[in-house]
Structure 1
Amino acid sequence: MRRTSARFTITAAAATALAATLALTGATGAGAAPDQQDVVAAAGPIGFGAGTTGGAGGATVTVTNASQFIAAVQRTDAVIVRVNGTISLSSMTKVASNKTVVGVGTAGRITGSGLNISEVSNVIIQNLTFTGSNDDAINVQYSSKVWIDHNDISGAYDGGVDIKRASTNITVSWNRCHDQDKNMLLGHSDSNSSEDTGKLKVTYDHNWFDGTNQRNPRVRFGNPVHVLNNYFGNVGSYGVAATENAGVLVEGNYFENTDDTYHLGEGSSDPGSLAAKNNHFVNSPAGQTGGSVAAIPYSYTADTASGVKSIVTAGAGVGKI
């Protein structure tokens, strides 16, 4: 089996334009009712997370500190939580079902620790800067209908976005990930097939893997998993790994300066299946494919791979919605 390299390449690049999915303007006080001019409905995610609505239809609350934030994201009703400022967390903070947690402009920041989406459904995490977590930036487990979109993720002690333990029907889109070693894990253990088989169905689309070292993503059991129209730039150890009966379609991505774009197996994990389609390579080789990947069960339109770098660097990250 292939062992993970110790190389870790970090790049810093600025994104510059607009990719509209949600518009938030004005300000709504804590506990106030939503205003149609303040919250404009998102177009919604594509892929497995389609239909995720978060806190739509509930109250809109603006928070500026950790105590307000924790109280808002743990309410039992549907809530749109607008984060205006830096929220410093000391431990992983659970987000309840039917929540949209969204940064205001470029001001929303989560630092110190991360968000735990556990045993819930219908959650949107959007337009937030995550930095310096003492654990994961975002952990998802035993949850469904989750949309992680247009965030900036860096410097987490463990994973950037880890999805595990029978979670499913999730879209991870338009995020910029940088200064991160273990980036996106899907399926935490080789021995968890009883929970994970038939689950872990995730769409990763239009993310900017900006010098992230490994796990972009690393997949167990999920079949199919769709890695669509992402930009891999200066990735250190490897891009995508399919292991332990996973089936991954790597489609329409732009790989640049990435020595190991995708492969089967990783570390002590057995090979899964991987199919590659219509990718674009710049100073990067085509990777390893094999096995059988289930058909993607939803309709979508893929961007032409050669244009993905410009599309993603213009639209991924915070302040681009």
Structure 2
Amino acid sequence: MRRTSARFTLTGAAAATAVAMAVIGATTASGVTAPEPQPAAAAAAAPIGFGAGTTGGAGGATVTVSDAAAFKTAVQSSAAQIVRVNGTISLSSMTKVTSNKTIVGVGTAGKITGSGLNVANANNVIIQNLSFSGSNDDAINVQYSTKVWIDHNSITGAKDGAVDIKRASTNITVSWNRTYGQDKNMLLGHSDDNSSEDNGKLKVTYDHNWFDGTNQRNPRVRFGNPVHVLNNYFSNIGSYGVASTENAGVLVEANYFENTDDTYHLGEGDSGPGSLVARNNHLVNSTAGETGGSVAAIPYSYTAQSASSVKATVTAGAGVGKI
């Protein structure tokens, strides 16, 4: 039997997020719409879980971009900014995102292809309602960063990870995303040798995501404690669902596992075991996995959706164009 690992799901504000798309102004030849003279509405309601309090570019100018040059200028600005993506942005390499940014797709038109986004040494970033495909690296990489919300994206075909979070990053919520066509899905903590940076960090909430046929790392966790895997839908998982390793503490709560032989387990590859607590999960053609040890208390209030109803909720609400 395959080994298994755990996580938990949150409900609440993320389910009711709404994107404000009102931007007036002429689009320039450079592919960027001039900032509004008055601030536009924030991209979405506030996240729940560890990423609560992330506001992104709220209060800053709003620009709309439709090509890579304008996109890079906007997301690398030193100012707070809401960056609306209206079209396909073709990147050749990982593109840095600076602090106090909201990057949000317009309807279903916002697409990132060719490479991905690197949230590095940044604070207060929202990435929302974008379709990522065919990255030559990760779709989204987060390192040395805090207060990040990754929400309602669709991700497929990244050469490495869909969403990798590492190097002392913390206070992050990953919610309502659909990932598919991915081998390595979501890594939390990149190396067994990085405990000096990662202990006490890597606190992440994975909430209402749809792991749709992804093979492994849903997520694979090192050091983070607690990590909350809540109300996610795991369907047709290939190798394994959740792995808790290297003294991590993972709560896998009220998730819906379907056609997943190895739902969750302790240890993975050369990485030693962490702790994993599983509770109130719903299993369909799936087997309860390996648990053990204790997990630190979740430090925020939340309401877990009944696991049996998670499939319907997540398939209706996860991914692009669902906010």
TM-score range, shorter chain: over 0.9
Post-superposition shift, 1:43?
2.0
User: Counterpart of 1:21?
Assistant: 17
Post-superposition shift, 1:75?
0.4
The aligned amino acid for 1:20 is A
Post-superposition shift, 1:40?
5.1
The aligned amino acid for 2:21 is T
CA distance in 1, matches of 2:117, 2:139: 6
Q: Spell out, residue by residue over 1:243-287, the C-alpha distance to the aligned partner (whole angstroms, 9 max, x if none).
A: 000000000000000000000000010000000010000000011
Question: Larger RCO: Structure 1 or Structure 2 (Cα < 8 Å, ≥ 6 residues apart)?
Answer: 2
CA distance in 1, matches of 2:35, 2:223: 43
CA distance in 2, matches of 1:166, 1:191: 13
The aligned amino acid for 1:177 is T
Structure 1's unaligned 5+ residue stretches are 5-17
The alignment partner of 1:159 has SS state of coil
**Counterpart mapping for 1:1-321 below 5 A:** 19-29=15-25, 30-33=33-36, 39=41, 42-321=44-323
The aligned amino acid for 2:305 is D
Structure 2's unaligned 5+ residue stretches are 5-13, 26-32
CA distance in 1, matches of 2:236, 2:172: 26
The aligned amino acid for 2:296 is A
CA distance in 1, matches of 2:289, 2:73: 46
CA distance in 2, matches of 1:287, 1:225: 17
User: Counterpart of 1:11?
Assistant: none
Cα distance change on mapping 1:40 and 1:73 into 2, 3 Å: closer
How many residues matched? Answer: 306
Post-superposition shift, 1:27?
3.5
The aligned amino acid for 2:269 is G
CA distance in 2, matches of 1:40, 1:167: 24
Moved over 4 A (4+): none
The alignment partner of 1:313 has SS state of helix
Cα distance change on mapping 1:125 and 1:41 into 2, 3 Å: closer
CA distance in 2, matches of 1:84, 1:125: 14
The alignment partner of 1:276 has SS state of strand
CA distance in 2, matches of 1:262, 1:143: 27
CA distance in 2, matches of 1:269, 1:40: 41
The alignment partner of 1:105 has SS state of strand
Cα distance change on mapping 1:67 and 1:265 into 2, 3 Å: same
Cα distance change on mapping 1:236 and 1:71 into 2, 3 Å: same
Q: Structure 1 length normalisation: TM-score?
A: 0.93
The alignment partner of 1:312 has SS state of helix
CA distance in 1, matches of 2:291, 2:262: 12
Post-superposition shift, 1:34?
6.7
Cα distance change on mapping 1:236 and 1:305 into 2, 3 Å: same
Q: Spell out, residue by residue over 1:3-41, the C-alpha distance to the aligned partner (whole angstroms, 9 max, x if none).
A: 99xxxxxxxxxxxxx9431223344442322767x6355
Q: Spell out, residue by residue over 1:176-224, the C-alpha distance to the aligned partner (whole angstroms, 9 max, x if none).
A: 0000000000000000000000000000000000000000000000000
The alignment partner of 2:107 has SS state of coil
Q: Structure 2 length normalisation: TM-score?
A: 0.92
The alignment partner of 1:125 has SS state of strand
The aligned amino acid for 1:25 is M
The alignment partner of 1:309 has SS state of helix
The alignment partner of 1:250 has SS state of strand
Alpha-carbon contact 1:173-1:206 (below 8 Å) kept: yes
